[in-house]
Chain A
Amino acid sequence: DTGVSQDPRHKITKRGQNVTFRCDPISEHNRLYWYRQTLGQGPEFLTYFQNEAQLEKSRLLSDRFSAERPKGSFSTLEIQRTEQGDSAMYLCASSLGPTTGANEQFFGPGTRLTVL
């Protein structure tokens, strides 16, 4: 399978714990995005990387959230001191960079986080 993969698919944690999610993009894609989707809503942008550089962060991304893409391949999203409001589906997407002038993003299956 050469699509975007995410791990784990589901995560249940207690309030105050730290969690980390992983995303593996499509191999030739240099851009990687994180979105959050709550029930009944459209995805909301969190952050994106071009290669290993984090180029944009949403105001939704509080200090408790951090994302990395150390070698320009896979990425991790960490949430520290989780709160019940963090419960959502966390989606990762990847795309080719701006050289094509296009940015259709291909999404992974998501990680569903439940904070008790």
Chain B
Amino acid sequence: AQKVTQAQTEISVVEKEDVTLDCVYETRDTTYYLFWYKQPPSGELVFLIRRNSFDEQNEISGRYSWNFQKSTSSFNFTITASQVVDSAVYFCALGRYAGNMLTFGGGTRLMVKP
């Protein structure tokens, strides 16, 4: 069975602070994909990143960075110099290599205060 745990249900930071959202996953598959999605107050899930299990290189995109550690089954997401517009619920998800269903974590609500 596949499982994704986002232990932080809610995080509150002040603008310009750095913040890390944790994601821990469980799977028996040797090949899989990991994802992060953003769900702003408008409600529509926005795709942020996909990572293959065989590529542990960390990735940076502007103020966003992702740290994938297969040894600890974690795929953490860091926002540098947070902004009010980053306020949203962020979901980590696990997908099988064949590409069908995604298993989502419970989400972390990030509130960035001015």
CB distance from A35 to the nearest CB of B (A): 8
Residues A103 and B45 in contact, CB atoms below 8 Å apart: no
The residues in A between 22 and 44 inclusive whose CB is less than 8 angstroms from any CB of B are: 31, 33, 35, 40-44
Which of the residues B47, B99, B101 comes within 8 Å of A58, measured between beta carbons? B101
Cβ of A101 within 8 Å of any chain B Cβ, yes or no, is yes
Band of interface residues on B = 20 to 34
Asked whether A102 and B99 contact (CB < 8 A) given A41-B107, A42-B106, A107-B44, the answer is yes
Band of interface residues on A = 20 to 34
Q: Which of B33, B93, B98, B100 has the most CB of A within 10 A?
A: B100
Closest to B98 in A: A98
The residues in A between 2 and 27 inclusive whose CB is less than 8 angstroms from any CB of B are: none
Cβ of B35 within 8 Å of any chain A Cβ, yes or no, is yes
Cβ of B41 within 8 Å of any chain A Cβ, yes or no, is no
Asked whether A108 and B33 contact (CB < 8 A) given A48-B101, A55-B100, A103-B95, the answer is no
Which residues of chain A are within 8 angstroms of B98 by Cβ–Cβ distance? 98
Which of the residues B45, B99, B101, B106 comes within 8 Å of A97, measured between beta carbons? B99
Residues B35 and A56 in contact, CB atoms below 8 Å apart: no
In the complex, per-residue mask of A87-116: 1 if CB is within 8 Å of any chain B CB, else 0: 001010101011001111111111000000
Which residues of chain B are within 8 angstroms of A109 by Cβ–Cβ distance? 42-44
Docked pose: A9 CA to B8 CA in angstroms:
30
Residues B99 and A106 in contact, CB atoms below 8 Å apart: no
A-B contact pairs, 26 of them (CB 8 A): A40-B107, A41-B107, A42-B4, A42-B91, A42-B105, A42-B106, A42-B107, A43-B45, A43-B102, A43-B104, A45-B101, A45-B103, A56-B100, A58-B101, A91-B45, A97-B99, A102-B50, A102-B99, A103-B95, A103-B100, A103-B102, A104-B50, A105-B102, A107-B37, A107-B44, A109-B43
Q: Which residues of B contact A (CB under 8 A)?
A: 4, 33, 35, 37, 42-47, 50, 91, 93, 95, 97-107
Q: Which residues of A contact B (CB under 8 A)?
A: 31, 33, 35, 40-45, 48, 55-56, 58, 89, 91, 93, 95, 97-98, 101-110
